[in-house]
Amino acid sequence: MCRLGLRLLGHRVVVTGVVSKARKDVVYVANHTSYMDSVVLCALLPGDLAFAAYGELEQNWFQGSFVRRLGALFVERFDPSGAVADTAKALDLLRDGRPVVMFPEATIMPMSGLLDFRMGAFVIAAKAGAPVIPIAIRGDRHILRHDGRAAAT
């Protein structure tokens, strides 16, 4: 559905590199440039993906309902004790064969470049013995920007 949606919207997605379908217990880590990132990754990555989403999003009536239907892993960004429980949930997902997708910057910013990475994705991968697959997303920052509006093209 995501592939079709991107095509209908006239967005061309170009992939450089290869995504292996051999393992399901992987942690994908990607830079976070736009609210469109999840749609692009859903269109390209194999498996029943479990996206990590910030916990506050679960309470949003519109976005939260959509993300819940995707089977998101809602994570605590500010309380360390909540983060421990989130790690256990992510490990369970990996054991169940669901690849976990995380944005280690933990937010979207309007400027280019990368923010400091939070360590959650790497801790989860290390505990699970799962590989970390890095992904660089370019070109969709202007589609659904940091302020939530689509940029004029």
Residue at 66 is within a domain: yes
Token representation of residue 36: 């469109």
Residue at 2 is within a domain: no
Crossing angle of helices 80-95 and 120-128, rounded to 10°? 40
| Mean predicted confidence (pLDDT) in 77-98 | 79
- List Cβ neighbours of 69 (8 Å cut-off, separation of 6 or more): none
Report residue 151's pLDDT band, with 50, 70 and 90 as the boundaries.
Answer: very low
Report residue 11's pLDDT band, with 50, 70 and 90 as the boundaries.
Answer: confident
Residue numbers of the domain that contains 125: 22-135
Residue at 142 is within a domain: no
Residue at 36 is within a domain: yes
Domain of 130, CATH number, reads 3.40.1010.10
Residue at 73 is within a domain: yes
Count the domains in the chain. 1
| Mean predicted confidence (pLDDT) in 72-89 | 74
Predicted model pTM: 0.76
Euclidean distance between CA atoms 136 and 134, whole angstroms? 7
Confirm if 47 and 153 have CB atoms less than 8 A apart: no
Give the tens place of pLDDT for each residue, 62-73: 877 777 777 788
Active-site annotation, residues? 32
